[in-house]
Chain A
Amino acid sequence: MTDIWNFLQSRMPDLLTALREHLVISFSSILLGSLIAIPLGIALVYNRIRWLNTVIFFIANLMQTVPSLALLAVLIPLLGIGIKPAIFALLLYSIMPILRNTYDGFHAVDRHVLESARGMGYSTMQRIFTIQLPLSLPYIMSGIRITTVYIISWATLASLIGAGGIGQLIISGMGVNKPELVFAGAIGAIALAFIADWLLGLLEKWLSGKFGRMGGAEA
């Protein structure tokens, strides 16, 4: 027990660096992934060309199946090594679940509500922002929450390409037979995932409160 304590104390700067790198990588890829996937999901709901939806979902699914090492190898000539290819790879992995949930959330909105809004003279943009987006928020947020937890675990792939993170602790700990490193890394990843999920839960509550009132007042 004292061993672990001593170890934690002596390696604290490294552990904090790893946590920070991990956080930056996960957060950036989720943020960029959401910025791409949510608008794309909305666009697909309004898209009239059926086959295009199929193609885009196919591509998003396909990206999930590319092995990370292969993807990173391909990215070296384009994005080099370090944090950039790591974020890019994770961003690709994050698109599908967020896209799918946004799309399904919009489809789950009661048609009659939309019809009556249209009858009251709402424009498409108004319908999206004051009705569909608030009503599908639980779907979108649950997509983001699930993806965040996954991405925090997948972000260990950053250690394959020189971007550090918690994965580096785990992999190097395994490589040199230092279980305390693996342990510290695993605990760090679990803690990050819990905290992130909790914060996103708060965000979801706050957003639904805000949008809920707004939607209620205008509808």
Chain B
Amino acid sequence: MASLSVPASGRGSLRRPSALTGFWSWFTTVDHKKIGIMYGVAAFAFFIVGGLEALLIRAQLAQPDGTLLNADEYNQIFTMHGITMIFLFVMPMSAAFFNYMIPLMVGARDVAFPRLNAYSFWVFALGGLFLYSSFFLGGAPNGGWFGYAPNSTTDPSIGMTFYALGLLITGIASTAGAVNLAVTVVNMRAPGMTLFRMPPFVWMGLVVQFLLVFALPIITVALFQLLFDRRWDTAFFDPTRGGQPILWQHLFWLFGHPEVYILILPAFGIISEVLPVFSRKPLFGYQFVIFSGIAIGFIGFGVWAHHMFAAGLGPVANTAFGVSTAIIAIPTGVKIFNWMGTMHGGDIKFASPMLYSVGAVMMFVIGGLSGVTHAIVPSDYQQTDTYYIVAHLHYVIFGGAVFGIFSGLYYWWPKVYGRKLNETWGKVQFWILIIGFNLAFGPMHILGLQGMIRREYTYPETLGLTFWNQMSTVGAFLIATSVAMFLVNVARTQMKPRGEVVEDPWDARTLEWMTTSPPPVHNFDEIPTVHALDEFWHRKYVEDERSGRLVPAQAGAAGAGPGEGDADGHGGGHSIHLPSPSYWPLVSGLGLPIMAYGVLYSWWLIGAGALVVLIGFYGWAIEPSVAEE
């Protein structure tokens, strides 16, 4: 490591790293773009692992009385599948997009706290590895991602202790990241970018960061109680010793439902960027879309007990939460209609990003409609905890969020790497994905109504569930094929010799396309001044007052395209001071899993981990953010 770092600052005992390229630079980088890429790579790796777990689940359930996995193995696999997809894939994947794109889209040079950003990433990645180490240390979490106490507190395996500790660690990562990105959006926008000139993706990002900041403390409390019940024999959830199991459910779902919107709103943001670009029209009812996103964020905190309709809260609570659940469908529906309005009358090009976005809207509609049926409380007594719910949640989170993520990947790939992913592969991959997805999850509606419960490792032939389970398994393997195609597409694209850089391949509308692809370390040679929503679009086209039609802007009118500002004396940004690389985020992050292993094995290890955290924070605190030259 030292061989790559050049002596920089004399302060502190370690020499400060300064390499901006090369393998080791990834460990010390504070550049939001590199961190964004690392988030994306790590999240996608976890997506593959979580997907393999899903294939094991589907292989086990492909026929009645399956014997591929036993009860113990199955319970670990389905629990880790849920934890992985939610906490280690969709959340960090959203963080990847936010990290990379938000500074570019608001015209900033980096996030507000670059080292904190690196810290968030390392804590997330280490937390994920910590969770997965449980497979080799006595058993993975086995009580479901929802970890209902007292089953989670009493289970004899060590798994749920890993669950509590692992989620506490990743929660720290998400909280730090959320504060960072929220401050970035609030404080670091380019001149002229008022809140209502922010791209919808940035708006949804802001809402998500606030949801995280308010929701994560709630599950943190619950996880500490769970940890103390398991490790130090407290009795928060043990009714035989004065505890109360329902407490866990309230805390978990008060976090857990906003969490659903934490997962889906980033995709809504991506869709709201992609649909206008490929329809060549502005987002229909921009303010309606933004306000409905904010409304979803608020109401999202008031519907948690619809996960608990059968828990015996009584008819008053069930009525109230049934009604609030119906209400949250309204702002969600508004978004769908506005997206339709955006496409209506457009000149729609079905490039890959657009296919995935339209697919996401259509699949999410199905998930939304089945969601409304949950608000029908007495009928939900039948459907809750069945495969009907499994179908619903996958239409929302896979159909909505994952399709949205693929849309974002295809859309912004040329921004990040200066080259497009192969379009033909992208389109074929889309069709396989949407067929596989519907084949995998569509039949689960029927299975649930036929009485197939969730989280069961086997079912008897007599219930007549075999056929649709088989179809679902076929669908799951089609999804896997599609994801494998994506990886091949990425490999093919990245291995091709670097051809001509595509600067604005989609005729885009927002600031991130006004710099080179990939962007320079300092993002913009000159920070653009923003005059309108869809600033870049308005620099390219002028709206004809009378016809409402667009005509290309006169060259040199309000500035033009990429490379603008090259000649303004900043000389390619050489005089711009950016935060310097640092070891300390990684060091302070490393202390957390050490402390967590300490909770499992030894007080001494807790002390050692805490020491690492303290040393890391101390070094971080006395290190200036920009190295002296």
Partners in one complex: no
* Chain A residues in the interface with B (C-beta under 8 A): none
Chain B residues proximal to chain A, CB less than 8 Å: none
